[in-house]
Structure 1
Amino acid sequence: MSLQVVTANRLGDGLVVFLTAEGGWSEDINQSRVADGKEAGDALLAEASAPELDTVIVGPYLIEVEQQDGGLVPTKYREVLRTKGPSVRQDLGYQAG
């Protein structure tokens, strides 16, 4: 089975966030609550799609991740970019500091 986490964008600043074990949102993918399997992923997405969260985040969806070197890493390149920020301007995004 594949491991999945929920990601979305925070409405206040547009940053990529991940659903945490406590039910909050973090910019750090390693604080994500991980679902293992389809049913667990569907339940996680349903929680993240609750109507009361419409004022906090937008567009929640599941992404596949892998455990690597003690951390979570997205399996798709698009999601890797979303977790790191823009790839053409190193002075912008998360890598700027």
Structure 2
Amino acid sequence: MTDSQVKQLTIMQKVLSHYPAQTALLSRVLASIFGGYLVAASACGLLSVLLPLSPVDATLVATMLSFAIYACAAIRAFCVKSLTQVWLELLIVSSSFYVTISLLS
């Protein structure tokens, strides 16, 4: 790259070009934290609607199960090779849970 091309890069592009391994790790950490929470929260909502218990019991059971779902989503974020696939899986699963909740209630 020439000097004029380097000056035109944004700060984020400069960081990504200098630290590709660190940014990949940061993306996986963010996916496991925020994407895992998104999947766990939407799964909790879906389970509380689907479980054939009283509303209080269904909510408690769904909340307890959501901790295990969160852990599985976080582990999955580090098992997949492609970062794009990690984010797509998390978004597709959580959005499908959300659509199902919307259709059921």
TM-score w.r.t. length of structure 2: 0.29
Larger radius of gyration: 2
In terms of fraction of residues, the more helix-rich structure is 2
User: Which fold has the larger relative contact order, with Cα–Cα distance below 8 Å and residues 6 or more apart in sequence?
Assistant: 2
Query: Which has the larger strand fraction?
Result: 1
- Output the TM-score relative to the length of structure 1: 0.31
